[in-house]
Amino acid sequence: MFNNSKARCLNEGPSISEKSAWKTVSRCASFGVGVALSLGLAQSASAITFRTEWTGQILGYSAAGNFSYDEGQTYADGIVRRDDLTDFDISFYDPTGSLIKTFEDNHLTYDEFNFNFDTRTQEILQDGFFDESNGIDIGEYIPVLDDAGEVISATGLNFWSAAPAPEGEPIPHVHLTDYGTEFPDLQIGFGPHLDVAFFTRSRAQLLDDPSAGDQLGQRMTATKVPEPGLLFGLGAIALLLNRLRRSDVRSKAS
């Protein structure tokens, strides 16, 4: 049905009148919108995907990835957590944009994985400690134990949050840390970390340098990815309308 209707719309053109041509445009466009919406609804009834992005406050290390979940489900307090995810991939990049490492299906491969997404505000929760319900812990953190089972060091490229309150007021921030110096050539940006982002502290405050700028650190963000079916349908409509307009122009010229 789809192929026949599409062929019928595309074959009509120079041989019909201007009025009939634009009636055809209307019919074809309506058909295309219906297909696009049906594809979009079919997609949205299952998985919904968001793109994640983050840039460090000191050196400009960055992260980019995506996660998906079933938006047809109901989530406690509207929060999607680890067990609710269907996909979670994340990549980390150095300040030049070169890839450091990618973690595919990180929610399945990292035991300490912690991720919490508010479906109502479409925000990633990261104002708490890494192991709390409003914190984040992704990538990997692998403790190294001594003979007594005590943690003596760690390895792994890890993105994690903390919110210490030395004077009573929490200072929420995130870190990108190369535990165990797995990537020794990477420049350290702040303390032992490759980079950080303090949500309530400026770059000048962190570096104790008034000329360093007053930018606050940014949170990891989430942006909804349009459904592939809807994009395909709308693209087909645009192509169809363009072809019909060109056919109409040729008809007038002849």
* Predicted pLDDT at 242: 56
* Strand ranges for the chain from DSSP E: 47-55, 62-70, 79-80, 85-93, 99-103, 117-118, 123-124, 137-139, 142-145, 151-162, 173-179, 195-198, 221-224
> In this structure, are 36 and 88 located in the same domain?
no
In a domain, 69, yes or no: yes
In a domain, 52, yes or no: no
> In this structure, are 142 and 28 located in the same domain?
no
Which residue range is the domain that position 130 belongs to? 57-217
In a domain, 90, yes or no: yes
> In this structure, are 168 and 233 located in the same domain?
no
> In this structure, are 67 and 36 located in the same domain?
no
pLDDT in tens, 112-157: 999 999 999 999 999 999 999 999 999 999 999 999 999 999 999 9
* Predicted pLDDT at 46: 81
Dihedral (CA of 75, 76, 79, 85) sign: negative
> In this structure, are 243 and 196 located in the same domain?
no
Could you tell me the maximum CA-CA distance found in the chain, to the nearest angstrom? Answer: 91
* Predicted pLDDT at 45: 53
* Predicted pLDDT at 202: 97
Dihedral (CA of 148, 132, 160, 72) sign: positive
> In this structure, are 104 and 150 located in the same domain?
yes
Give the count of domains, the chain.
2
In a domain, 222, yes or no: no
> In this structure, are 179 and 87 located in the same domain?
yes
In a domain, 198, yes or no: yes
In a domain, 159, yes or no: yes
> In this structure, are 191 and 246 located in the same domain?
no
Alpha-carbon distance of 189 to 175, in angstroms, equals 10
> In this structure, are 30 and 62 located in the same domain?
no
In a domain, 119, yes or no: yes
Digits of tens for pLDDT over the chain (254 positions)?
434 332 323 333 333 344 444 444 344 444 444 444 444 444 445 889 999 999 999 999 999 999 999 999 999 999 999 999 999 999 999 999 999 999 999 999 999 999 999 999 999 999 999 999 999 999 999 999 999 999 999 999 999 999 999 989 999 999 999 999 999 999 999 999 999 999 999 999 999 999 999 999 999 999 999 976 554 445 545 555 555 455 554 444 44
* Predicted pLDDT at 113: 98
> In this structure, are 118 and 209 located in the same domain?
yes
Which position has the token pair 């074809």? Answer: 28
> In this structure, are 208 and 235 located in the same domain?
no
* Predicted pLDDT at 84: 97
Closest CA to 174 of 187, 165, 163, 189: 163
In a domain, 16, yes or no: yes
> In this structure, are 72 and 137 located in the same domain?
yes
* Predicted pLDDT at 92: 98
